[in-house]
Structure formats: C-alpha cells, structure tokens
C-alpha cells in the first residue's frame, strides 16, 4: 500500500472534532483514488467531489453508480437518521436520472454504512468500522461496493473475501435479488420454477431440505453467478450481453458450446425488467476477476462462501477438497486416454476438474492436437447429479478445467459439456424399461407438471450426445417461437443440418407435434431441459455404454432424514442387494452404500475400477458389513465387486467433512467377489488448509498400513445389556426449572415456585419459546443428572426438573390432575409441545418415556454407575441419590456392590478404554459418539474372586478420593474441569496402575 494511502487511512480512523466535513470528504475521495481500485487522479469523471444533483443539491462524493454522503460524526442517532434521509433522496434521484441501480454509502471516515433503495425506502445491507492497522479490510469492503477493480486472480481466499456471504458485494446483490423476488413471487412462471426446484431438492436431500424463500434466492444468485462466470471464462464480457441472452446461453450456442448455460429454474430473474438490471450489475461485479486464471474448483468455494455453514450441514452439502479429489482420481484413473470416467454424484465438479486435467496432461504428453484433446475429454469424463445448482456449477467447472486457451483455439470443433441433471441412482428401477421399440420413451407424469403425453426419441440418436442435445434445443426453440394455434412447421432443414437418418424422422416429427400442442396449452415450461438430462443416465446404464472408472463422493443422506417413500425404496433396494443392516441399525444407515453399489451396477463395466469417498463407517462399522462383502443380490442383479485396500482418513486434521471419511477402492468383478480387506492405509497429518491442492497438502500427510478395528468382530462385554440410556427431558423449557423467590405472602407447605431454566444450547424453535412459570408440589421437583454433571469419579451439582412420576411409576393423566400445581404446569408444557413439536404422532408424555427410558429407572436403584453418551473421553461416576433422574446425555446401570461400581468406574475412566473405544465409535466431526460402543470391548463382569478385579476396584475407590480433593471452579467449563481431574489422577501412582491393569485386561 502506498504511504499516502496509509496516511489518509490513519486520519480516517480517528474521529477528531477539529476536522471539518470538507476535510473528511477530501480524505474519503483521496482514499478511493489511492486505493487499488484502478482509478487515477486524472479520471475525475469517476470520482467526483461535490457532484451536482441538478436541483441545487450536491453529492459529497460520487464514484460510478455509488453515492457517498459524509458527516463529521455519525454516532448521534439524530445525525445518522437525518443523513440517511438525505442519502435516500440522492440515491433515488440518481437512479431515476440514469436508469441504473445506484447504492449509497454513509460515512464519517471511521464508520461506513452501505445502503440500497427498495420501494423508495433506504435499507442498510452492510457496514464496517475502521480500526488502525486494518486498511485491507476497508479496501476490500469498498472494492466490493464500487466494483471498479479488474484482473483479480480468483483464488479461494479472494473469492471468499470479495464474493462470500460476509462481503459487501454479496450483501448488496443478495438484498437486491431478495427484494425483486418478494415483489414478484406470485408470478405463475416463478411459482412453477420454484416448485420444480423444491421437488428436485426433496428427492436429492430428503427431509433435511426446507422449501424456503431465502434458499431459493441464494441458489438463484449462485446459478446466475456461475453462468456469468462461464461467459467470462471464454473472454466474453457478460456486462455487455443482453441479460436474457446471457442466462439463456445464446452466446454459447453461437460458439458451438452446448450444455453449459441453458434455460433452467433460475432464469426467472430475466423475465422482469428490474431483474435484467440486476443481472447487468451482477455481471459488472463478477467481471472484476480474471476467470481464465483458475487452478482449482473455485465454484465450490463460491458455494460454501455463500450458503451458510448451518444450512450446508443440514443438507449434507460438503464438497470434496481438491487435494483428496486429485489423489483419488490419480489412484483410480491410471490410463486416462483410454478410460471413460464417470462421477455419478458430481456436485460442483471437483472430481471432474481433476479427471479433466489428468486427461489433458496425458494428451499433451502424447502430442495430441488441441481439437482432439477437447473431443476426447468430453467423451472420457462425464458427470451427473440430481441437484440443479450443483449441475450448473459442475458445468462451469468443466469449462474452467478445459481452459480459455483450448476453447478459443481456431480449429476447435463443436463441444457438448457432458454434465447432466439426472437421477443417477434411478430409484424407479422400472425406468430402464423406457427403452422400447428402438426408442427412448418419456411418459407423462402430472406430478412433474411438465407434459402429459409420450415423447419419443430414436435410440440411435443418443449415441451422439452433442447431436441429440442440439436436436432437442432446436425442437424446444421452434415450439416456443411458433405462434399458438399455427400450423406445425416443417423440420426438414433441421433434419438436413443435423444429418438425421430418414428412418428416424417420423418419430421426431410426432414428438414435435406433441411439443407444439403442449406449448399451445401453456405447458411447455422447461421440458427440453428436463428431457435432455433425463436421457443420459438411462443411456449410460445400457451395457454397451458403461464406463471404465467411477470416482466421486456419493451422497451421505441419513436414513432418518429420507422422506417416507424414499425410506421404503431404500430398504427394498438395500434388502435386494444384501446391504440392509436391519431395523435396529436403520437410523445409522445412509445412502452412500446403496449409491455406490447401484452406480457400479448401472454404470461400471466388468473390470472397471472405482474410487469413492465415503463415511468412515463404510470400512469398519457393523451396519456396512453387507456392503463390504462384495456380493450384492441374486443373479437378476448380477453384481460382484473385488475390493482393494481402503483409505482411513479420520486422523487428518483439521476436519474437512462434518463426519470422518474414508475412500473405498475396487473393481467390478466377473462373478467372483472379494470382500474389503481389514488392512487399510491409515492417513494422518495436519492440512495447511482444508481445500489445499495436492501439491500443498501432500507433504503434510503421511500414510501407513494398519489393521482396521471393526465393530462386531470383538467379544462384546456382558455389561452391554445392563446399561441403558437416560430419559429424554426435552424440550428443556418444559422440564428443567430453577426456584423463584416467593412473594411476602409465602406458599403452602410442600409447594415451590419455579420457572423454566434456560440454556444457550437450546435449539429452534424451543429457544424462542417463552419460559413457563408455576407453583408445583415439591414431590415432583426432582434432581436430574445430565452429561455436564459427570466428572471422572465424581458427580458435581445437579439440575432440577419437573417430572410427573412417583417413586415407583409415571403418573397417568388422571393422577396428574389430582395435583393442582403439577396439572397447571403440565398443561402449559403440553400446549408448548403440541404447538412446536416436529413429530405429530408423539405426545409429551410419550416423548418423556420414549423407549421406556424413564419407566426403566423406577423405582430408582440404591447404587448406580453413570457415564457420558458423548464426548472426547469416556467419563464415569457412581451415585446413591435415589431421587435423581438420569437424562439422555448419560447411560446408567445398577450395581450390586460398591466394589463393582468402583471397578466399572476405574475401567471407564481409563485413558486406555477411551483410546480403544474411539475406533469403534460412530463419528461426527470427532469421535465423540460413545453411546454403547464402549461395550464392544471385552470388559469382563466383576468377579470378587479375581484378584486383578479386586485390585482395580480398590484403585477405583482411591481415585474417587483423589477426585474429591479437587477444588472445582464454577466458572470453568465442565470439559476443562474433567481434563484437570483426569490429569490429577494420571499423575498419581494409583492412576498409573489403573492404566496398566486396564491395558492388560482389555487391550
């Protein structure tokens, strides 16, 4: 940064009452001129001071389509409000005068606020406060608003900073498109496209998908951005192209590049005049980057920068980092010039990107000419996905991977980008029957709202993807241009130009007549888009068209998040292939195993190879046992695979997925399956960045051959059935309470005043529910233990909860009514539950006693051992509290003697036990889901005649005494307190001996 810029910034950071508004105005202008915004001192038309508005008013600073109003100090609410009214007038006037979309900035040099106008109202969309030493933050923020810079290299960091969800440019664009959508959402065409989008994503993402306005708006912005970027890759200037032509892909059609940009769910924007203006502005912002300088799948970075982390987590949308895609492709695709590669769940196209680059590398080494390289790669690297946003991103990624130099080569021929929107898994297995009498027949389905007649296409035409797609485009365009009710035009010119054989023409003419009728009925919509994409998965599934290699990251959609009809189909297809793990393990199953098997069955030739990124559970959990067998179903399915050594990636840090991952490799066998080896490559190391390239990540990662610990292969502990999970006291607002101070009048004996006890851990919708207040009989106020109460060998504190039970049983409705205070509380709790519950079939009492987890505790035993359901370490303690209820964050069992309880506590608190349990856990971001996996270890039942058991019990009692000496800081997080107690005990002779005995006993 130039020193003059630093000096100006330093002045702006300090509010000095001696400075005049004119001085601040001059510094603001000077900062803009000196910053790297590609402006210079001589270009005064771009940065104007005291710009005339035309009605005797003056704009303090005007830069392109941005109005800047400067005040001396904006901290006073009155000053800022008056300044906003002034700025609103300036922005509205300039927009009216020029017909352009103007934005406004309000600043006192230190605080900067960005606004746009919606329905004549000024709305803030972004703000920033200058702090000494953070000049780059202001530069990036202003650059996003002004959008004057060019030639930015689209690195992951640059995209996140300048286009991500916290950037000023994104906030402006997001606010604008949201306002446009809200004003026009009732338009029939927009309703139709929104509906089709929602249906597809429900199929792709299950019940985790929520049909929300904000997600549709974000997806529209993403797809529009990707399609604009696609034009920029070719060196076109999207800001100069008519918006409808831009999002319709007309320039690509003219250039002979098909299948990149086409009419889809997200071009509703250009149906509106204000939407077309928005697309021009968006194009100008994206033109700041040099999109020819791309070295990775940048669109997944754009996606993850815009779609919030919580939304992506809920939808299971986490794209594979570049380093992993690179090495998986390298491992699987060993002869790229001869192997046809398919990613059947391609997402944003990361695997496609690396497969394409691998193909070009081999082609260049062989001396292949560029036109032949392009022709070859589009025949050898193919992608599919059911997610319409992902498909658009992947198509642009494909284009980026080819690169501008190849695309503009003078001898380049027509290109068809082979990335398709389609149901790769083909849930409706009968869909393969759509091939009949030499034709692909697409039947009516009113639920899709696309057409109500059969559309037929000759089978032979699908072998040439480019010709087939061009034919469908021609039919769609001609049907749309034809005046409603007019005669059906001749297709002779189309037939001649595309060299359609004579014998196929009558079938196509019949389809075109149907299409024209659909247009007359107003039901053509985007059917061409649908047909082109539907055809390709079914074509690839034909034996003669299958591929040589499958790569990718199949969807990890959990069974519990699938819609009911998908669950039924999932179970049926899984049972037919021998990979259904049974109802007991149903909630642990996900789509990835079936997807991998189905993709091999449909698309992989015999002898073809696969390399697929999957949850780590695939290589060592019980519910994937059938998947690891390599044999799937009877002769009608006819699939066998030979697995090779998998990769275990869960020791790599930082985590790059929300769950631990693995990579499975193998090939489609010719009737002789080979089960997955127990030997695996164990990866470990620390990544320099989550989405690093292989060149960056490779040196930081180490691989070693190791043996997997598979659940179900060990001798299970006899304690497994003895331990059970605690009761579900949720929602918290209905059960957890704290005492209230009573009034001066007091309360009758046996009653207590309470209100709901809240927690920052509560989730929506419950955290927004108002706290309950009541006076309840004290007998129903019970101590409850949660995971936070359990420390090594010690229980600290207790929570209080209203629990409708006696010492022996849960009260029924009539018994609750007999207790006035309880009845009043319970009625309000049920009212809250019934209003906000997600499960309509379960009332509040059923929730409380789900799977008998409360009734199993009554009457409460004299002595119990408790341990945590989740956490980085197993933690256990014993209790003799016969009123305390155990919640679902804990597991418990009763023990006969204190010696047995001390023995179990010593075993569970041992670091050895945690280390041996960790590979057996089902994983989240870390191995935290302890549950009952600890009992997959061969922990023996306590035996008083066994001297080792007795010694361990004695040491457990000693460790309890040591833990009791630790002074607990109530302000310290319970996890830190656990760690301190664990370290205290590990440093004693008793702690060290416990570790030695446990190791010998169960290792």
Per-residue pLDDT tens digits for 661-701:
999 999 999 888 999 999 999 999 999 987 888 999 999 99
Q: Output 15 or 896, whichever has higher pLDDT.
A: 896
591-to-230, 604, 667 alpha-carbon distances in Å: 32, 19, 20
Q: Which residues 6+ apart lie within 8 Å of 337 measured at CB? A: 359, 362, 363, 366, 368, 376, 380
pLDDT over threshold 70, residue 277: yes
Structural domains present in the chain: 3-149 (3.90.1570.30), 177-421 (no CATH), 429-540 (no CATH), 548-707 (3.40.50.150), 720-740+779-811+844-1002 (3.90.220)
pLDDT over threshold 70, residue 42: no
Q: Output 78 or 622, whichever has higher pLDDT.
A: 78
Give the integer Cα–Cα distance in Å for 823 and 815: 9
The pLDDT, as a whole number, for residue 328 is 98
968-to-205, 792, 799, 879, 981 alpha-carbon distances in Å: 46, 13, 17, 18, 9
Q: Output 204 or 339, whichever has higher pLDDT.
A: 339
Q: Output 857 or 293, whichever has higher pLDDT.
A: 857
User: Which pair of structure tokens corresponds to residue 653?
Assistant: 């840090």
Give the integer Cα–Cα distance in Å for 303 and 474: 32
Q: Which residues 6+ apart lie within 8 Å of 704 measured at CB? A: 681, 682, 684
The least confident of 5-14, 186-195, 299-308, 801-810 is 299-308
Confidence label for 907 from pLDDT (cuts 50, 70 and 90): very high
Q: Output 513 or 323, whichever has higher pLDDT.
A: 323
Q: Where are the alpha helices (DSSP H) in 206-297?
A: 213-233, 243-248, 250-255, 273-286
The least confident of 45-59, 745-759, 786-800, 868-882 is 45-59
CA 917 to chain centroid: 28
Give the integer Cα–Cα distance in Å for 411 and 400: 19
Q: pLDDT tens for residues 372-431?
A: 999 999 999 999 988 888 888 899 889 889 988 898 899 998 898 999 887 788 775 444
Q: Output 845 or 742, whichever has higher pLDDT.
A: 845
With H, G, I as helix, E, B as strand and everything else as coil, classify residue 869: coil
CA 372 to chain centroid: 37
The pLDDT, as a whole number, for residue 445 is 46
The pLDDT, as a whole number, for residue 584 is 67
The pLDDT, as a whole number, for residue 586 is 72
Q: Which residues 6+ apart lie within 8 Å of 846 measured at CB? A: none
Buried b (16+ CB within 10 A) or exposed e, 377-395: bbebbbbbbbbbbbbbbbb
The least confident of 107-111, 225-229, 557-561, 829-833 is 557-561
The pLDDT, as a whole number, for residue 39 is 63
Report, as an integer, the average pLDDT of 45-73: 81
Give the integer Cα–Cα distance in Å for 615 and 627: 13
Report, as an integer, the average pLDDT of 196-209: 70
Q: Which residues 6+ apart lie within 8 Å of 43 measured at CB? A: none
Verify cis geometry, omega within 30 degrees of 0, for the bond prior to 159.
no
The pLDDT, as a whole number, for residue 447 is 42
Say which residue the tokens 């309509």 belong to.
840
The pLDDT, as a whole number, for residue 92 is 87
Give the integer Cα–Cα distance in Å for 681 and 267: 46
Phi/psi at 158 (5° precision): -65, -40
Confidence label for 316 from pLDDT (cuts 50, 70 and 90): low
- Angle, helix 388-402 to helix 213-233, in steps of 10 degrees: 20
Give the integer Cα–Cα distance in Å for 837 and 774: 22
- Say if CB 564 and CB 202 are below 8 A apart: no
Report, as an integer, the average pLDDT of 777-783: 96
Q: pLDDT tens for residues 108-157?
A: 999 999 998 887 788 999 999 988 778 988 988 988 888 877 788 888 78
∠ Cα 656 915 681 (to 5°): 50
- Say if CB 400 and CB 298 are below 8 A apart: yes
- Rg, C-alpha atoms of the chain: 33
Name the strands in the sheet holding 781-785, side by side, starting at the edge strand that comes first in the sequence: 773-777, 751-756, 736-739, 799-802, 781-785, 885-886
Q: Where are the alpha helices (DSSP H) in 660-747?
A: 694-697, 732-735
The percent of residues in the chain predicted with pLDDT above 90, rounded, is: 48
CA 859 to chain centroid: 45
Give the integer Cα–Cα distance in Å for 121 and 85: 9
User: Which pair of structure tokens corresponds to residue 664?
Assistant: 């499975």
Confidence label for 796 from pLDDT (cuts 50, 70 and 90): very high
The pLDDT, as a whole number, for residue 423 is 77
The pLDDT, as a whole number, for residue 431 is 44
- pTM, two decimal places: 0.70
Q: Which residues 6+ apart lie within 8 Å of 69 measured at CB? A: 59, 60, 83, 86, 87, 90, 104, 105, 106, 107
Q: DSSP readout, 157-168?
A: HHHHHHHSTTSH
pLDDT over threshold 60, residue 934: yes
Q: pLDDT tens for residues 514-568?
A: 878 877 766 555 556 666 666 777 778 888 889 999 999 998 887 877 778 788 8
The percent of residues in the chain predicted with pLDDT above 70, rounded, is: 91
The pLDDT, as a whole number, for residue 368 is 96
Report, as an integer, the average pLDDT of 469-498: 85
Q: Output 817 or 36, whichever has higher pLDDT.
A: 817
Q: Which residues 6+ apart lie within 8 Å of 866 measured at CB? A: 785, 790, 795, 876, 877, 878, 879, 886, 890, 891, 892
Give the integer Cα–Cα distance in Å for 693 and 156: 11
Report, as an integer, the average pLDDT of 714-721: 82
How many Cα neighbours within 13 Å face the side chain of 783? 13
With H, G, I as helix, E, B as strand and everything else as coil, classify residue 354: helix
Confidence label for 44 from pLDDT (cuts 50, 70 and 90): very low
The 3-class secondary structure across 498-533, one letter per residue, is CCCCHHHHHHHHHHHHHHHHHHHCCCCCCHHHHHHH
Nearest of 319, 416, 384 to residue 603 by alpha carbon: 384
Q: Cβ-count burial of 299 within 10 angstroms (0-12 exposed, 13-18 middle, 19+ buried)?
A: buried
The pLDDT, as a whole number, for residue 449 is 41
Confidence label for 327 from pLDDT (cuts 50, 70 and 90): very high
The least confident of 168-182, 243-257, 468-482, 847-861 is 468-482
Confidence label for 582 from pLDDT (cuts 50, 70 and 90): confident
- Say if CB 679 and CB 644 are below 8 A apart: no
Sign of CA dihedral 775, 777, 783, 786: negative
What is the pairing mode between strands 701-707 and 679-686? antiparallel
User: Which pair of structure tokens corresponds to residue 900?
Assistant: 């047995």
Nearest of 497, 533, 512, 519 to residue 456 by alpha carbon: 512
């Amino acid at each position: 940064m130039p020193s003059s810029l630093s000096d100006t910034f330093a002045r702006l950071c300090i509010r000095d009452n001696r400075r005049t508004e004119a001085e601040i105005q001059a510094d603001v202008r000077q900062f803009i001129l000196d910053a790297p915004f590609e402006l210079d001192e001589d270009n005064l038309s771009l940065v104007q001071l005291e710009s005339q508005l035309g009605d005797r008013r003056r704009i303090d600073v005007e830069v392109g389509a941005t109005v800047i109003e400067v005040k001396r100090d904006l901290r006073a609410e009155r000053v800022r409000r008056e300044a906003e009214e002034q700025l609103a007038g300036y922005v509205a006037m300039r927009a009216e005068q020029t017909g352009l979309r103007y934005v406004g900035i309000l600043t006192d040099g230190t605080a900067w606020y960005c606004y746009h106008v919606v329905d004549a109202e000024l709305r803030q969309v972004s703000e920033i406060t200058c702090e000494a030493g953070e000049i780059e933050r202001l530069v990036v923020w202003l650059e996003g608003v002004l959008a004057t810079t060019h030639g930015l290299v689209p690195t992951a960091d640059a995209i996140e900073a300048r286009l991500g969800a916290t950037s000023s440019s994104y906030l402006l664009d997001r606010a604008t498109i949201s306002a446009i959508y809200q004003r026009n959402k009732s338009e029939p065409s927009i309703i139709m496209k929104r509906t089709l989008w929602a249906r597809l994503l429900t199929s792709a993402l299950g019940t985790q998908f929520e049909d929300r306005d904000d997600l549709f708006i974000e997806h529209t912005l993403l797809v529009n951005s990707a399609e604009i970027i696609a034009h920029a890759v070719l060196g076109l200037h999207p800001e100069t192209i008519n918006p409808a032509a831009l999002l319709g892909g007309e320039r690509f059609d003219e250039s002979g590049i098909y299948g990149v940009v086409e009419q889809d769910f997200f071009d509703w924007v250009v149906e509106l005049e204000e939407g077309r203006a928005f697309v021009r502005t968006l194009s100008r912002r994206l033109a700041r980057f040099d999109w020819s300088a791309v070295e990775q799948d940048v669109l997944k970075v754009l996606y993850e920068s815009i779609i919030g982390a919580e939304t992506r987590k809920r939808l299971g949308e986490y794209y594979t980092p570049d380093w992993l895609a690179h090495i998986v492709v390298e491992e699987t695709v060993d002869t790229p010039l001869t192997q046809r590669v398919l990613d059947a769940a391609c997402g944003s196209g990361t695997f496609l990107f690396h497969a394409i680059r691998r193909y070009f590398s081999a082609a260049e080494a062989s001396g292949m000419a560029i036109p032949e390289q392009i022709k070859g790669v589009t025949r050898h690297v193919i992608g599919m996905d059911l997610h319409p946003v992902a498909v658009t991103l992947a198509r642009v990624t494909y284009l980026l991977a080819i690169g501008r130099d190849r695309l503009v080569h003078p001898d380049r021929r027509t290109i068809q980008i082979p990335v398709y929107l389609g149901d790769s898994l083909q849930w409706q297995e009968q869909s393969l029957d759509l091939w009949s009498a030499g034709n692909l027949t697409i039947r009516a389905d009113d639920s899709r709202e696309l057409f109500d007649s059969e559309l037929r296409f000759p089978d032979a035409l699908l072998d040439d993807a480019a010709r087939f797609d061009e034919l469908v485009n021609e039919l769609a365009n001609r049907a749309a241009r034809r005046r409603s009710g007019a005669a059906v035009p001749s297709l002779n010119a189309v037939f001649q130009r595309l060299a359609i054989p004579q014998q196929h023409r009558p079938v196509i003419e019949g389809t075109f007549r149907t299409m024209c009728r659909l247009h007359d009925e107003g039901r053509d919509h985007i059917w061409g888009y649908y047909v082109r994409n539907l055809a390709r998965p079914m074509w690839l599934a034909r034996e003669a068209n299958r591929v040589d290699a499958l790569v990718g990251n199949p969807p990890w959609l959990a069974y519990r998040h699938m819609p009911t009809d998908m669950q039924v189909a999932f179970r049926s297809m899984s049972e037919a292939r021998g990979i259904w793990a049974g109802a007991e393990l149903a909630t642990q199953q996900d789509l990835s195993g079936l997807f991998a098997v189905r993709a091999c069955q449909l698309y992989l030739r015999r002898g073809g190879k696969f390399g697929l990124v999957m949850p780590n559970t695939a290589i060592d959990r019980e519910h994937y046992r059938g998947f690891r067998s390599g044999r799937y179903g009877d002769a009608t399915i006819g699939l066998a695979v030979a697995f090779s050594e998998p990769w275990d990636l869960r020791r790599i840090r930082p985590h790059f997925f929300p769950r631990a991952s693995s990579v499975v490799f193998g090939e489609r066998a010719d009737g002789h399956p080979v089960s997955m080896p127990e030997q695996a490559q164990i990866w470990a190391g620390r990544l320099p960045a989550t989405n690093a390239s292989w060149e960056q990540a490779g040196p930081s990662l180490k691989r070693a051959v190791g043996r997997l610990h598979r659940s179900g292969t060990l001798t299970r502990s006899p304690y497994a059935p003895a331990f059970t999970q605690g009761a579900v006291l949720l929602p918290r607002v209905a059960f957890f309470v704290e005492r209230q101070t009573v009034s001066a009048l007091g309360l009758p004996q046996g009653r207590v005043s309470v209100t709901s006890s809240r927690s920052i851990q509560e989730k929506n919708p419950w955290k927004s529910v108002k706290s309950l207040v009541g006076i309840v009989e004290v007998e129903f106020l019970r101590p409850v233990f949660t995971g936070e109460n359990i420390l090594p060998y010690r229980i600290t504190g207790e929570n209080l909860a209203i629990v409708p039970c006696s010492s022996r049983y849960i009260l029924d409705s009539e018994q609750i009514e007999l207790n006035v205070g309880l009845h009043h509380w319970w009625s309000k709790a049920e009212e809250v539950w019934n209003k906000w519950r997600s499960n309509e079939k379960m009332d509040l009492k059923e929730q409380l006693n789900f799977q008998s987890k409360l009734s199993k505790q009554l009457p409460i035993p004299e002595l119990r051992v408790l341990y945590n359901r989740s956490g980085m370490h197993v933690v256990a303690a014993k209790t003799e509290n016969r009123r305390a209820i155990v919640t679902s964050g804990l597991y418990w069992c009763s023990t006969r003697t204190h010696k047995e309880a001390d023995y179990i506590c010593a075993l569970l608190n041992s670091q050895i036990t945690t280390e041996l349990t960790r590979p057996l856990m089902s994983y989240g971001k870390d191995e935290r889901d302890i549950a009952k996996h600890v009992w997959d270890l061969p922990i023996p039942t306590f035996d008083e005649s066994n001297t080792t058991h007795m010694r361990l019990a004695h040491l457990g009692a000693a460790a309890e005494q040591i833990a009791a000496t630790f002074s607990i800081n109530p302000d310290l997080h319970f996890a830190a307190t656990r760690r301190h107690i664990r370290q205290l005990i590990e440093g004693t002779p008793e702690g060290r001996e416990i570790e030695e005995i446990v190791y010998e006993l169960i290792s």
